[in-house]
Amino acid sequence: MTYRIAVIPGDGIGPEVTTEGLKVLKTIEELDPSLSFSFESFPWGCEYYTENGKMMDDDGIEKLKDFDAIYLGAVGFPGVPDHISLWDLLLKIRKGFDQYVNLRPIKLLNGSSTPLKDDPKLRNIDMLVVRENSEGEYAGAGDWLFKGKPEEVVLQTGVFSRKGTERIIRHAFEIAKESGKSLTSISKGNALNYSMVFWDEVFEEVSQDYPEVTTYSYLVDAAAMFFVTDPGRFEIVVTSNLFGDIVTDLGAGLAGGLGLAAGANINPERNYPSMFEPVHGSAPDIAGKGIANPLAAVWSVSQILDHFGHEDWGARVLEAIETVLTEKKANTPDLGGDASTSAVGTELCRVLEEKFKNE
């Protein structure tokens, strides 16, 4: 079976880290003759914008729609306003393909370290954040009135539809039920007196269909504190688009940094391709230096393999990441090493190959 993967390396460190992810997929192809991948790369991003006045082709969504998956590096770079670059490429794809489930594992891998104090309780970091990825605070609705005048007013409206809220919460319950884990909802009904009151009501309603799932509900401010003081209390977490964005960078910080955080943008109905990408951005501060950590992008490759139903390979890739972290022979500067991005990718492929041959 040949899987067709659209690759959008994007901006900054995006091309540097996706190169390593592709190296891993090519290694797997060599090791397992039953698997093959075809890649088509799209040059979209901020440079493309500077040359062509647009972030992607006008028929970009159409061009991507028949791929089995999209593999993306990062989008956004100084010189192009972020709200243009992101809305015209990354968010356009998430919304265009109704990738309403954003799965972001926060897991302290073997060999990784946490800034939390050295207490075994605080090493128990293993959660999956199920972030709403299609509406909410990212609905893009608002207005800018009386621009530049003393009475200037700016509105940014959150949109929480019954359909959008229920489907993400239900999806998270399904994951919790299947894995036998608890489900925590993170919201903010005390201050956000429409959207989050509604969110809490829907969570309560849907929970009636899942009596076997233990549930918790936290206000986002308290949740942020518990992420740091007692991360072990979170297993499956469901939250809105913006809160999910914020708590997953917080989680990344707890579990080894942004260089180790992966995310999958899923269209569960499989009407459209899903998209896989590291949680981090284009990291302009280190772009072009060849020192970006590619492991988040490689973890996204593991998520692609899981998505294709090759969980055996997904697990092998994650194990290889843990080996690379544990052996510390090739770690990038963010992890305290001095290896280059490509040296980490090469070492990872070597470990993967060795593991597979010894199975």
Candidate ranges 30-38, 86-94, 172-180, 330-338; the one touching ligand IPM (CB under 6 A): 86-94
- The option from ligand IPM, Mn ion, ligand NAD, none interacting with 258 (CB < 5 to 8 A, set by class) reads ligand NAD
Vertex 142 angle, CA 237 and 100, to 5°: 30
Interaction between residue 251 and ligand NAD (CB under 6 A): no
Which residue(s) pair with 104 in the sheet? 129
Binding mask 190-229 for ligand IPM (x = CB under 6 A): ----------------------------------------
Interaction between residue 245 and ligand IPM (CB under 6 A): yes
The amino acid that residue 251 corresponds to is: G
Binding mask 150-189 for ligand IPM (x = CB under 6 A): ----------------------------------------
Q: Which is nearer to ligand IPM, 187 or 241 (CB)?
A: 241
Q: Which is nearer to ligand IPM, 132 or 347 (CB)?
A: 132
- Please give the distance of CA 33 from its chain centroid, rounded to a whole number: 29
Would you call 44 exposed, middle or buried from its count of C-beta atoms within 10 A (0-12, 13-18, 19+)? Answer: buried
Residues 77-136 that bind ligand NAD (CB under 6 A): 77, 82, 86, 90
Q: Which is nearer to ligand NAD, 136 or 206 (CB)?
A: 136
**Contact present, 127 and 250 (Cβ < 8 Å):** no
Interaction between residue 74 and ligand NAD (CB under 6 A): yes
With CB under 6 A as the contact rule, the residue among 24, 46, 69, 86 that binds ligand IPM is 86
With CB under 5 A as the contact rule, the residue among 98, 235, 245, 347 that binds Mn ion is 245
The amino acid that residue 12 corresponds to is: G
Least separation, in Å, of the C-beta of 83 and ligand IPM?
9
Interaction between residue 16 and Mn ion (CB under 5 A): no
Angle between helix 14-31 and 341-357 (nearest 10): 20
Residues near ligand IPM (CB under 6 A), total: 7
**Contact present, 308 and 300 (Cβ < 8 Å):** no
Spatial strand order of the sheet with 262-266 comes to 36-41, 2-10, 69-74, 274-278, 262-266, 101-107, 126-132, 236-239, 183-187, 215-219
Which residue(s) pair with 262 in the sheet? 278
Residues near ligand NAD (CB under 6 A), total: 23
Contacts of 166 (CB under 8 A, 6+ apart): 202, 205, 206
Least separation, in Å, of the C-beta of 296 and ligand NAD?
6
Q: Which is nearer to Mn ion, 98 or 245 (CB)?
A: 245
Cα–Cα distance measured from residue 254 to residue 232, given in angstroms and rounded to the nearest whole number: 12
Q: What is the DSSP string of 66-106?
A: TSSEEEEEE---TTS-HHHHIIIIIHHHHHHTT--EEEEEE
Residues that bind ligand NAD (CB under 6 A): 13, 17, 74-77, 82, 86, 90, 258-259, 277, 280-286, 292-293, 296, 334
Residues that bind ligand IPM (CB under 6 A): 76, 86, 90-91, 245, 279, 281
